[in-house]
Amino acid sequence: MRLETPEFDTVLYHRPESLEDYPLHLCPGCGHGIVHRLIAEVVDELGIRERAVCVASIGCMVNSYHYFKFDGLESAHGRAPAVATAIKRCHPHLVPFTYQGDGDLAAIGTAEIVHACARGENFTTIFVNNAIYGMTGGQMAPTTLLGMYSTSTTGGREPARSGYPIRVCEMLSALDGPAYIARESVHKPSAVRKAKQAIKLAFRTQLAGLGMSLVEVLSPCPVNWRLEPVDAMKWLAEHMLPQYPLGEYKVIEAVAALKKETDHA
């Protein structure tokens, strides 16, 4: 049911066209909801709703193809980059993007994301890092911080037993294939705006056929961090930003040029 707008008012903000009016099954205050909305806004602004393909993965965002108003499909845990590789190569005019969490991308799917980047596949990955396994109830993820509680590191993560958190952007930007890699966050409005710009530039990188684009988005998981949503955002700023510094990690020249166009346009 669309929200009626008194006809004589201008709309300053309204649900993006590409986002279904479908209740999200996500927990209150979950960052995935914000990231879904940003993707839909970018797809609208770039006018690619009829070419976009959501390659969902397994995790809290397993239902994301229900939330977008364009083609979508599910892929096995960790394999979204392989599925997207095939879709892009079979139908180069489509605009597939994988939507993955830290368990999906940095644990079981590490080989797939590394090789998709190494091949410079021309699709976009949106990687939401909330440092925990959300859907399965809060276990340690590859990006869980040292000392951080999880249901499988109840005394806090210790490197001796559970190793060190993986900095994905830094790791992948060492490869030649990626054209654009950035890490952003949704912990406050200005950060959300930057995240949207990065997501938009990533899609534009794909549209220009410049190679692999990946945006890591730091996101809260209030339920499994055992924090109120507002406090979870503060915790993210305090604890995750130092471990996962925000910013652009790989911007090839052609993408930098693309970026300039937006600044002037």
Partner 1 sequence: MTEKTLMAGNIAIAEGAILAGCQAYFGYPITPQNEILEHLSKRMPGDGRVFLQTESELAAINMVYGAAAAGCRAMTSTSSPGFSLEQEGISYMAGAELPAVIVNVMRGGPGLGNIGGAQGDYFQSTRGGGHGDYRLINLAPASVQEMMDFTMLAFELADKYRNPVVVLADGFLGQVMEPIVRRPPVTELPDKPWAITGARGRAKNVINSFEMNPADFPPRVRLLFQKYEAICQNEVRFESLELSDATLVIVAYGSVSRSAVTAVKMARREGIPVGLFRPTTVYPFPYKALTELARHADNFLVAELSFGQLIDDVRLAVGHDKRVALVNRYGGVPLHADEILAAIKEMISQPVGR
Partner 2 sequence: MVTLVVAAYPKTSYIVIDEEKCKGCHLCIAACPNGVIGQASHINRMGYIPATVIREKAEECTGCTVCAIMCPDTVISVYRHDRVSTHSAP
Which positions lie near partner 1, rule CB under 8 A? 25, 49-53, 55-56, 62-63, 65-66, 68-76, 79, 82-87, 89-91, 93-94, 111-112, 114-115
Amino acid at 169: C
The yes or no reply on residue 30 touching partner 2 (CB under 8 A) is yes
13 binds, among partner 2, partner 1, none (CB under 5 to 8 A by kind): partner 2
Phi, psi angle pair for 180, to nearest 5°: -150, 120
The yes or no reply on residue 265 touching partner 2 (CB under 8 A) is no
112 binds, among partner 2, partner 1, none (CB under 5 to 8 A by kind): partner 1
Query: How many C-beta neighbours within 10 Å does residue 91 have?
Result: 12
End-to-end CA distance of the chain: 35
Helix axes 189-207, 253-264, angle to 10 degrees: 120
Phi, psi angle pair for 168, to nearest 5°: -65, -45
| CA–CA gap between residue 18 and residue 48 (Å, rounded) | 10
Q: Binders of partner 2: how many residues, by CB under 8 A?
A: 35
23 binds, among partner 2, partner 1, none (CB under 5 to 8 A by kind): partner 2
Question: By rule CB under 8 A, what string of x and - marks binding of each residue 161-200 to partner 2?
Answer: ---------------------------xx--xx-------
CB of 89 to partner 1, least distance (A): 5
Single out the residue of 18, 34, 52, 116 in contact with partner 2 (rule: CB under 8 A).
34
| CA–CA gap between residue 40 and residue 237 (Å, rounded) | 25
Instruction: Specify the DSSP class assigned to residue 19.
Output: B
- Using only C-alpha atoms, the chain has a radius of gyration, in whole angstroms, of 18
* Residues that bind partner 2 in the complex, under the rule CB under 8 A: 1, 3, 5-6, 8-16, 19, 23-24, 26-34, 37, 188-189, 192-193, 222, 228-230, 233
